[in-house]
Chain A
């Protein structure tokens, strides 16, 4: 299992080693350092931004009496269904300097060019990614807030602390595991991110990898860069492991009471406006623009026929492709994650932890690198598989395995080993115990992991672009191809279908929320 997942890593190091010294020197002479600085800057900015935004939104909707908080809890999580590059396309169309709808409208209205905030460059990219990645932190912090025991707050007040001090001294530290997990997801996402930053004209490490791959016929340079990216990811994962390992969080289970919401008083209205503003920018605006574009497409028969049929394939084909490839990936990922999770939880030790972490580095590899390694390995090893859509599914599994592993591990944590011991004590074998006792108990957790893999596989772009056999396009690929040429009206219906397909597993996850503990 670990061998299977290590394939991309092995490929990367194999190719990088084969490159030779001259590849390294050539790379060092180029913009490597500035790209590295760019990537680190972006990662720090977005991680900080999403942490602040996610936690504050969670706190406002879970712990205060801001109006309509029940609705906000859902609305704030929904941006996860929107792939960031679609969000970037929408915001670009709206705010592109001189060319966007809003600057043009303002210029028409006021008669002279008006400078509006630009979604391009560092600030734009940081803002955009924060806007579409904060749900990770939001969901995890929200769950932590929700499970806070009232007694903790009351105890803090008894000791004379006011609300603010309670917040800093008691509430926020309780958030730490959720916050670090969320921040980790965000960080790894940004390291591997290419599409959104490319659209917003901000160059990161992944851009450099892509440039290498789109030029030379020798891929060792790309492999070297990917190796560095993996190293950074390993550092991030390792530090998260250290932080998580040390902290201890316990809560009282008996007589658990929901914590009392904090009254905001005169801050109610500003808080409400703030939360609405976030929902507006990250959810309402993209969906509205997509709907508007789709309506324009439907009202024009020529555009409509282009949406419905592209060459020999219809939009139903694309939807079907998206659904079954993501679904199969989810099934495989969850099934394969079980042995890893079982090993980690039932036989804890250095080896199992290493294997578990190894499975998770796949998350930081850019989709292109995973795709390339598969092209090489499958072409040489399993040529009959090559050129089929199964390779796409395998890429999804490789990249999204970490989510399944984490979900399975979390699910297993909640089962006391005494259950399994009892089963064995009653005469069941290990296998019977597994199937009759453990699996049914952790099933909801596994389903949640599967839903997450399904969701992220639906949105996946770079690996799909590279690995897809001719004629196999997913919705994500269609959106990209149309949007690249500026055919936003054609791309919008496909984008809406994608978001719709993503909302279903997301809704399931929101109901569950157990996976992130």
Chain B
């Protein structure tokens, strides 16, 4: 009896395995270069699935023949995977949460060049060298606070205020595994130098700041009153506000002698060796189209890079603010130094 059961189970498994053989084998037997938009599109995304899904769904509505296969995960883990896969590329596109990663990968020959249709409507600084990557949306680093615990006057006006003992144990931020935090530290190294950045980080740690894996945890914790202040990308504030939480926002460091707003951008690159170039190009163009950019602006409260796309009415325009001037390619070259600094201070 048991013997028959085992044989039956084994047979079932073999059948299931045969059925379960996934799409990639099918992709390999198709023609190497897709001329038309269709087939399967493999996207690696450092952006969380929730923030990228609406755009993918809209693209699918327009091109129903395309099957989008998404692998979302940690920015640098996926970047690592892409580097490992250089001889055996699996992905067609890589979407990141900031520019340093994409620049670093471009310098290591991971992307193919593509100049999107809307390239002339995007500021030059958001187009990678040799068109190897292109920026999608902009974000700024802000301080959000819980309005029931902190008044507007008390709220910190500079990120350097966060090391003040009055915020002891009351600050939430993302830790060293988070792409946007890494990019901020890299930017600060350029703006104020290695030592000032190091003392700022040490100050945060000594101030008992809590470092989460991602900003969603930060915004929810600040919204619930678990922490008084949080260091986040701007759209997390708006997302939390939309949930009805009592939160306020500070666009920090605006005085003459201060560093200004630290900005960054999400970006996309076409992976070298992609077997579905036409669809990949179509997707990039969609991300930079009026429709795609509007989705980012309206659903995610981000700053679109395409000229002429309106912001969400609640979102404050960047026009009146001083922005920090950061050299992205330099930051990408100094990437090792940034990681070394985070390790030196033992940033969680």
Contacts and interface: CB of A to CB of B under 8 A. Distances in A.
Interface of A: 26, 29-31, 96-99, 198, 201, 203, 207, 210-211, 213-217, 219, 310-312, 320-321, 323-325, 327-328, 331, 375-376, 379, 383, 386-389, 440, 443-444, 447, 465-466, 468-472, 481, 484-487
Nearest to B108: A217
Contacts, number: 153
Given A375-B84, A379-B85, A486-B220, A443 B214 contact: no
Contact of B71 (A30, A97, A201, A469): A469
Contacts of A215: 76, 176-177, 182, 339, 342-343
Interface stretch (B17-25, B158-166, B246-254, B312-320): B17-25
B71 A468 contact: yes
Interface residues of B, number: 69
B72 interface: yes
A389 B177 contact: no
B24 A388 contact: yes
A36 B104 CA distance: 33
Given A31-B346, A443-B3, A484-B214, 7 more contacts: A215-B182, A217-B76, A320-B16, A379-B84, A447-B6, A469-B42, A472-B22
Nearest to A323: B16
B76 A214 contact: yes
B48 interface: yes
B336 A481 contact: no
Interface stretch (B62-70, B123-131, B279-287): B62-70
A388 B225 contact: no
A246 to B, nearest CB: 35
B13 A376 contact: no
A383 to B, nearest CB: 5
Contact of B88 (A383, A440, A485): A383
Contact of B226 (A97, A444, A447): A97
Given A324-B13, A388-B22, A471-B23, A211 B177 contact: yes
Given A98-B226, A443-B2, A387 B44 contact: no
B134 to A, nearest CB: 21
A203 B347 CA distance: 12
Nearest to A216: B339
A331 B10 CA distance: 8
Contacts of A328: 13, 16-17
A472 B23 CA distance: 9
Contacts of B90: 386-387, 469-470
A321 B20 CA distance: 7
Contact of A324 (B20, B74, B210): B20
B27 to A, nearest CB: 10
A376 B84 contact: yes
A318 to B, nearest CB: 12
23 contacts: A26-B343, A30-B343, A97-B226, A201-B210, A213-B77, A214-B77, A219-B80, A312-B68, A312-B69, A327-B13, A375-B81, A379-B84, A383-B87, A386-B90, A388-B25, A470-B90, A470-B91, A471-B69, A481-B48, A484-B48, A484-B216, A486-B217, A486-B220
A214 B74 contact: yes
Given A99-B226, A324-B17, A328-B17, A470 B216 contact: no
Contacts of A465: 73
